[in-house]
Amino acid sequence: MPIYETVLDAVGGTPLIRLNRVGGAERARVLVKLEAVNPGGSIKDRIGLALIRAAEESGRLKPGGTVVEATAGNTGVGLAMAAAVLGYQSVFVVPDKMSPDKIRLLKAYGARVEIVPDVPRNDPQNYQQVAQRLADHLAGAAYMGQFEQKANPETHYRTTGPEIWEATQGQVGALVAGAGTGGTISGIGRYLKDQKPDVEVIGADPVGSIFTGPVAPFLIEGMGEDYYPDTLDADVVDRWEAVSDEEAFDMARQLARQEGILVGGSSGAIVVTALKVARDWQKSDWIVAMLPDTGRNYLSNIFREDS
């Protein structure tokens, strides 16, 4: 094992794991990529440092400044972790449907957290609009822009995609992922298609998200949107599959209780979709399902005792 200079060097290199009990015979072609083992507990650890470096390079963020972002929680953790290492302050704006566990986690890293109503993007109280205003008015602050900055998908093209390709020795036939910013599915999907053009990219999407529509409230955190972010390359995605809150949360609990894999609701939705794809799978290649974050972020909602 190497000795790392900082915790940021421990990000990435996450494992691919076979499913053993959930689903039926179709699970034999599914591998899950467990991003919960990143030091901050999610795939968003990968983009935290990249977003800060992009802000530094553009001159938006100066030494001793403040990192500001709109987040469902996980990008905030990745940013807060990187900010702590690099000596920045951090402020995050989160919608009120986020789990209390995530909010406590952000504060544990020393971040200031502002909670706003979960309203559409065109509402002045939308978390992205509030975060941008905060960045404009706080001295030395810079808005990170995970929904706009190309550093988001580029990080996945540079790291996550190659990890999957190398681990499967190129024997990957489909990628199943969610989309909030769209950076994950766009970056990984583009990399895999550049290596093998016939790789299928399937987006798992909450019922109520614009990608499968019509737009309506949903409870799954960190995936689904009411608009198309700049960081989403929709041309990479071959099709979208809608998953209900109930299906997603039930699968998250099954993964914990039958596979020993503790992950969140977005991971549940992605596994539901991967198993659906696998039922009609005629190829010998793997279906790789991205599991974005740890279930420790959802102990107070998805995994509460009466669930």
For 196-239, what is each residue's pLDDT tens digit?
999 999 999 999 999 999 999 999 999 999 999 999 999 999 99
Do 81 and 108 lie in one domain? The reply is yes
Domain count, the chain: 2
Domain end point (choices 106, 122, 143): 143
Q: Which CATH number characterizes residue 230's domain?
A: 3.40.50.1100
Contacts of 195 (CB under 8 A, 6+ apart): 165, 170
**Do 177 and 279 have their domain in common?**
yes
Residue 113 banded pLDDT, cuts 50, 70, 90: very high
Containing structural domain, residue 127:
45-143
Are 177 and 284 part of one and the same domain?
Answer: yes
Distance in angstroms (rounded) separating the CA atoms of residues 196 and 173: 9
* Reported confidence tier of residue 157, pLDDT bands at 50, 70, 90: very high
pTM above 0.85, yes or no: yes
**What's the rounded Cα separation, in Å, for the pair 115 and 101?**
13
Query: Within this chain, do residues 195 and 211 fall inside the same structural domain, yes or no?
Result: yes
For 228-282, the pLDDT digits (tens) are 999 999 999 999 999 999 999 999 999 999 999 999 999 999 999 999 999 999 9
Domain boundary among 122, 143, 164: 143
What single letter denotes the amino acid at residue 25?
A
How large is the angle between the packed helices 265-279 and 245-254, nearest 10 degrees? Answer: 90
* For residue 306, pLDDT beyond 80: no
Domain endpoint, select from 90, 109, 143: 143
Q: Which residues are catalytic?
A: 44
Residue 307, pLDDT > 70, answer: no
Angle at 301 between CA 297 and CA 302, to 5 degrees: 80
